[in-house]
Amino acid sequence: MLYDQLDALRKYAQSRLSTVLLETGGTPQARSERESFSQLYTDDIAKYDAAENGLCFGRIDLQPSSDENPVRYIGRVGILDEVNDYETLLLDWRAPMARPFYLATPAAPEDVLRRRHIRSRSRHVTSIADEYLDLTAARTVGLDSTATGVAGESALLSALDAARTGHMNDIVETIQSEQDAIIRSQHRSVLVVQGGPGTGKTAVALHRAAYLLYTYRQQLAKSGVLIIGPNATFLDYIGQVLPSLGETGVLLSTIGNLYPGVRATLGDSVTAAQVKGSTSMVAVLAKAVRDRQEVPTEPRRLRFDTYDIVLDKKIVTRARGRARSSRRPHNLARPLFVSSVIDGLAQQLAARLGENVVDGGSLLSRDDIADMRDEMREDADVMAAIDELWPDLSPQQVLLELFASEDRIASAAPDLSAAERHSLLRTGRRFSTGDAPLLDELAELLGIDDAAERERENRQWRSQIADAQGALDILTGSAPQDLEDELDPEILMAYDLIDASQLARRQDSGARLTTAERAAGDRTWTYGHVIVDEAQELSDMAWRMVMRRIPNRWMTLVGDVAQTGDPAGTTSWSEVLEPYVAQRWKRTELTVNYRTPSEIMAVAREVLASIDPVQSVPRSVRDSGHAPWAQLADVAELADVVAQRVAEHPRPGLSAILAPVGLVAELAHLRSEFVTVSTVKDAKGLEFDSVLIIEPAAIVAESPRGLGDLYVALTRATQRLGVVHTTPLPDELAGLSSLHTPVS
């Protein structure tokens, strides 16, 4: 019955969408309504398609006195019975009435007698697991009550033990109470979710996004939700979660790709990353922009009309002072600079022409001087000279030219050491992740003079209207006059239903963009909510970039300061947030490790103790039965040993080889459908069935925060962990059992 109703809802949405798309003409309000309904029905179809898999996954049986209907079914979307007075057939998991499914425990049953977990595939139920939260009911059927503190233990462990596929699954069926409290939190400033590895931080963040979009649909549908992840691989990994929850309008991005039109493809050295991530770059970039506002050291002689004029230091200094005193960004102050220089040159030429010696009057009237100024603005030589002194700049141009010149870097960053300045030097036109916040800062310093762009858009719009009018004229001219005379006046032709502007607007692809698509191309877009995963990795400059996009400061940050690997990342939430929100942020914590088995966490605990002796290790909910091991190999046999150990990993299931940067290329031939070879940085936020860590001492030595990288590497596995090394292990891994099996 549920699937019949789902099919009916999908069919209705498809029918209404087809009708809306066929409609034409009407008032501007009618067109706007059509576009809104088109988006609404498109979103509904996507939601119903996504809910197809595992539509209903739970049921709770309540005390008969607690509810008119003591049985509630829980699912991915809400479904009403339109035949029987719109009775609720299926509760959306985000609805308040569904909360007992996630919160009820034997100690606090919330009137729940029994919780049922339903697993299905292709519209067929494959398994049912019941939990009795009422002691009397449990004894009646010969079962003990749940006492582990983990809701839906059998369903949860089944999901945790399943082989990984390379894409993250939602946890809507197995959300635990501490996760549910965060997902539904009503905190309206910055909510920090601190959690160790495997505690479900990412899943909680994504389900919180779905919950907020459900609860605050009207507000967030217009402004959008932005989710920032650590790398492109991570975004691909989580990409199916929100669509599976019925939400398709969220923008996913990395910091490196958050600046429109720029894709980060370069890597930075440790020193460069530290320099670029520091807020000292704000002053460096401001100085780099001011350095482009030049004053000529020698007078420059220009030819205007038939006269010689001189662009000297006095004229330019006065113009620069006037432009700078306006406190406008560089490009927006440029018209003031140009106007002042032109005025100075015009006055200079007027003075040279002299006074009328006969009657004492001026040879030139005000109108003459005004005409002279206009002509100078059209003079190529004059404007070229002005452009050299105060050019119209783009952020990309400033940054590329700054980093390509030792002299520019030295002038803009005199307080940096020689090594730090050298780390910034590079050629080419590519950018790194650390460059994106710098480009965003430069955009603020430069400003955007969009007058030319607006004029271009106006010309394009006028051209579209002209084309549309031409099409209507052809239709009008193609109808014979005698036929028009004989037509029933009630029969309308195309040109009776729509005018040129309406037709042009219907052909405008920009009008059909989703909120997320429009936001992605607009640097100044402000979001209703922002979620940052692996938030501890953001530099101080990256935080400035993010905060510009969320002026209401309604954010969810998930991360673990013990796992900070970026040289410019943070180890203190308060240091990051208090400059922006003072004390208006709330810290929550996830304490249960669902991913990493207890055997692996026993090893990881030693590394965490070296990073932060105070921080506690999250409690693992399961054992894997596989003891972590280490194998010493000869340098010449390293690749063969790694290949053999990877081949031993059971399939199906994903394996990861995590290696220092210098060894990734050497081991790249081992990549396959089931095997990933990468650095620890690129594996951040991901999980695998089996993990092999190569040369852990080299991983630690690669970065000032190398122990954090090792901690991340150790906690990526859901089942098995091994270490292959040719050099001595870090002291923190001394507890690993030795594996001496020779290479065959």
Integer-rounded Cα radius of gyration of the chain = 33
Q: How far is Cα 530 from Cα 191, in angstroms, rounded to an integer?
A: 11
What local confidence, expressed as pLDDT, does residue 355 receive?
47
- For residue 659, the model assigns a pLDDT of 97
- What pLDDT is attached to residue 199? 92
Greater model confidence, 139 or 434? 434
Tell me the average pLDDT across 602-620.
91
Q: Is the pLDDT of residue 650 over 70?
A: yes
Q: What value does the mean pLDDT take over residues 727-736?
A: 92
Can you give the length of the chain in residues?
Answer: 744
pLDDT exceeds 70 at position 494: no
| Strands lying side by side in the sheet with 655-658 | 675-678, 655-658, 688-694, 717-725, 629-632, 737-738
Mean pLDDT, range 420-430, rounded to an integer: 95
Residues 440 and 545: their CA atoms lie apart, in Å, by: 6
Q: Position of tokens 């089996």?
A: 690
pLDDT, tens digit (0-9, with 9 covering 90-100), for 7-31:
777 787 788 777 777 666 566 666 6
608 vs 493, more confident: 608
Tell which residue, 75, 61, 73, 190, has the closest CA to residue 138: 61
Report helix angle 330-353 to 313-325, nearest 10: 140
Higher pLDDT, 1 or 635: 635
Helices (H) and strands (E) in the chain, counts: 33, 24
Coil/strand/helix, residue 80: strand
pLDDT at 444 over 80: yes
Q: Which amino acid is at 463?
A: S
pLDDT at residue 67, as a whole number: 55
CA atoms within 13 A on the CB side of 440: 26
Residue 482 in this model has a pLDDT that exceeds 60: no
Model confidence band, residue 357 (pLDDT cutoffs 50, 70, 90): very low
> Has residue 483 got a pLDDT over 50?
no
Q: How confident is the model at residue 150 (pLDDT cuts 50, 70, 90)?
A: low
Q: Alpha carbon of 425 to those of 15, 24, 405, 407, 616: distances in Å?
A: 59, 57, 7, 11, 42
Handedness of CA 119, 121, 122, 126 (dihedral sign): negative
266: left (phi over 0), alpha (psi -120 to 50) or beta: beta
What's the DSSP call for residue 537? G
Do residues 89 and 1 touch, judged by C-beta distance below 8 A? yes
Q: Is the pTM of this model over 0.85?
A: no
Residue-level pLDDT at 241: 87
Closest CA to 706 of 535, 549, 569: 569
Q: What is the pLDDT of residue 174?
A: 80
Tell me the pLDDT band of 536, cut-offs 50, 70 and 90.
very high
The number of beta carbons lying within 10 Å of the beta carbon of residue 548 is: 17
Q: What is the pLDDT of residue 147?
A: 42
Whole-number Å distance between alpha carbons of 113 and 131: 9
Element housing 619 (H / E):
strand 619-620
User: Residue 265 corresponds to which tokens in the numbers above?
Assistant: 């493809």
In the predicted model, is pLDDT for residue 43 greater than 70? yes
For residue 363, the model assigns a pLDDT of 67
What is the average pLDDT score of the chain?
A: 85
Question: Is residue 300 pLDDT above 80, yes or no?
Answer: yes
User: Has residue 135 got a pLDDT over 70?
Assistant: no
How many Å apart are CA 563 and CA 183, to the nearest integer?
A: 22
- Whole-Å CA distances, 321 to 295, 341, 371, 442: 11, 11, 25, 21
- Give the pLDDT confidence of 166-225 residue by residue, as tens digits: 677 777 888 888 999 999 999 999 999 999 998 999 999 999 999 999 999 888 988 999
Q: Which H, E and C letters describe 239-260, residue by residue?
A: CCHHHHCCCCCCEEEEHHHCCC
Q: Is residue 724 very low, low, confident or very high in pLDDT (cuts 50, 70, 90)?
A: very high
Question: CA-to-CA distance for 78 and 59, rounded, in angstroms?
Answer: 14
Model pLDDT, residue 620: 92
Distance (Å, whole) CA 497 – CA 594: 61
- The predicted pLDDT at position 358 comes to 45
What is the structure's pLDDT at 152?
56
Mean pLDDT is lowest, of 420-424, 500-504, 541-545, 688-692, for: 500-504
